[in-house]
Amino acid sequence: MPKKTKTAAQLEREIAQALTQFSDPDIERMFKKGGSDHDRMVLAVLGDPMYAKRFKMPKWNIKPTVLDTPDVAIKHWNELGIPRSKNAHAQRADYFRDLRSRFQAEHKRLLSEGDRLYGANGPVISGGFHEDWPKDLKDRIRFAAHGSTLLGDAVRLHEALSKSRSPVFQ
């Protein structure tokens, strides 16, 4: 029996269908949970509301979060429920670093598949996609790019806390 080959139109439909979901089920779950609202996205990606909580800090004209500066975590560690163990922060940094690499791989995959399917015509928008691409694909690319940035901030926070000389963290 001869092997059936797929037509170009069938392949394009399969690729377009694949671009409506993340290949990583954890990232897909986070995307469905987070949406485009910043605080909901922080909660969906990082899994803890303490990362979105804002505090008034001296010499800041905004209310920063722990992702903006580790000083917030050092000053408000008890209120945020941050662990005092440097080892716990090193483990969290490793976890977020691994998750960030998955987000970056997903972002790269979506961009390359989008280029292949929809072309690289028109101006490039922040996140690396083109303005004439479908909205659903652009939303997923934005989520992957923003999630990667959030995870990078979380890695920097926990690395700083794991090396902190503050007497709060042991």
- Give the domain range for residue 69: 23-162
Q: Using the predicted structure, report yes or no on whether residue 148 has a pLDDT greater than 90.
A: yes
Q: Is residue 7 part of a domain?
A: no
Q: Is residue 85 part of a domain?
A: yes
Provide the pLDDT for residue 151: 92
Q: Of the candidates 103, 97, 102, which has an alpha carbon nearest to the alpha carbon of residue 140?
A: 103
Q: Is residue 27 part of a domain?
A: yes
Number of structural domains found in the chain: 1
**Mean pLDDT for the stretch of residues 77-90:** 81
For 75, the enclosing helix (H) or strand (E) is helix 70-75
Provide the pLDDT for residue 59: 86
Q: Is residue 13 part of a domain?
A: no
Token digits of residue 152: 């990078």
Q: Is residue 128 part of a domain?
A: yes
Q: Of the candidates 16, 25, 11, 153, which has an alpha carbon nearest to the alpha carbon of residue 93?
A: 153
Q: Using the predicted structure, report yes or no on whether residue 55 has a pLDDT greater than 90.
A: no
Token digits of residue 65: 């979060």
Q: Is residue 1 part of a domain?
A: no
> Whole-number mean pLDDT of the chain?
82
Distance CA 79, CA 9 (A): 56
Q: Is residue 5 part of a domain?
A: no
Q: Is residue 169 part of a domain?
A: no
Provide the pLDDT for residue 19: 67
Provide the pLDDT for residue 152: 93
**Mean pLDDT for the stretch of residues 136-164:** 88
Q: Of the candidates 38, 93, 102, which has an alpha carbon nearest to the alpha carbon of residue 70?
A: 93
Q: Using the predicted structure, report yes or no on whether residue 89 has a pLDDT greater than 70.
A: yes
Lowest mean pLDDT among 7-21, 32-46, 48-62, 146-160: 7-21
**Mean pLDDT for the stretch of residues 147-161:** 90
